[in-house]
Amino acid sequence: MLDSLHAHYALLGLHREAEIQGLRLVFALMRKLSDTDAQIELARQAADEARHLWMLERRLAELRATLSFPARQPMTLRPLAIGKDSGDTLAAACALKQRALLRYTASLPGLDREAAELREAIAADEKTHLAWFARRLARARPSPDCSPRIERFLEAEDAAFAAVSGA
Ligand SMILES: [Fe+2]
C-alpha cells in the first residue's frame, strides 16, 4: 500500500534502478549485435531508457525537496549479469524487461497521480522494447548457465519490490 510519499519515493527509486540496468543491457547489446536493425532499435531504446531515467529523477528530486531526503538512497537491486554472448544478453534483457513491465503495470493501491501517469507513460515504451527483445531472443541460443543467474536476479528483485510496495 503506497500510503505515503516515502513509499512513493522508494517505489520510484526501484524503478530508477531497473532503468539503469536496462541501459547497461542496451549498451552491451549494441556491442554484441552488429546488424543495422539492431543498431537502430537499440539506439532508440537507449534514448527511451535515458528519458525514463530523467522522468524518474525529476520526480524523485521533487519528493526529496518535499521530504528532505538524503541525496541518494542505497542501491537495492542485485546487478543482472550481462552474459558472455548475445544470446545470454538477450535472455537477460528479455527477463528484465518482462519484470519491469510487470512492475510498471502492477495495481498499487494509494498510488498518487504523478506516479501513476509516469508509470503508464514508461510502460507503453517498455511494451514495445519487450516485443523487439522477444523477437530477437526467439532466434538466439542462450547458454544453459544464464537461467540460474537470471533467476537469482528475479528472486532478489521480488524481495526488493515487496519491500517497497508492501506487496
Ligand atoms: Fe525504461
Q: Is the pLDDT of residue 69 over 80?
A: no
What does the alpha-carbon distance between residue 158 and residue 103 come to, in Å, rounded to a whole number?
A: 10
Ligand 1 mean position, distance from CA 95 (Å): 13
Residue 68 region, left (φ>0) first, then alpha (ψ -120 to 50), else beta?
left
Ligand 1 mean position, distance from CA 47 (Å): 9
pLDDT at position 126 is 97
Ligand 1 mean position, distance from CA 122 (Å): 6
Q: Are 25 and 80 in contact (CB under 8 A)?
A: yes
User: Once rounded to an integer, what is the mean pLDDT over residues 63-67?
Assistant: 82
User: Once rounded to an integer, what is the mean pLDDT over residues 75-79?
Assistant: 83
Provide the pLDDT confidence category of residue 167 given band limits of 50, 70 and 90. low
Domain tally for the chain?
Answer: 1
Ligand 1 mean position, distance from CA 148 (Å): 24
**Residue 36 sits in a domain of what CATH number?**
1.20.1260.10
Range of the domain at 51: 5-165
Q: What is the pLDDT of residues 80-131, one digit of tens each?
A: 888 889 999 999 999 999 999 999 999 998 899 999 999 999 999 999 999 9
Q: What is the pLDDT of residues 23-64, one digit of tens each?
A: 999 999 999 999 999 999 999 999 999 999 999 999 999 988
pTM for the structure as a whole: 0.92
pLDDT at position 14 is 93
What does the alpha-carbon distance between residue 19 and residue 93 come to, in Å, rounded to a whole number?
A: 11
pLDDT at position 71 is 59
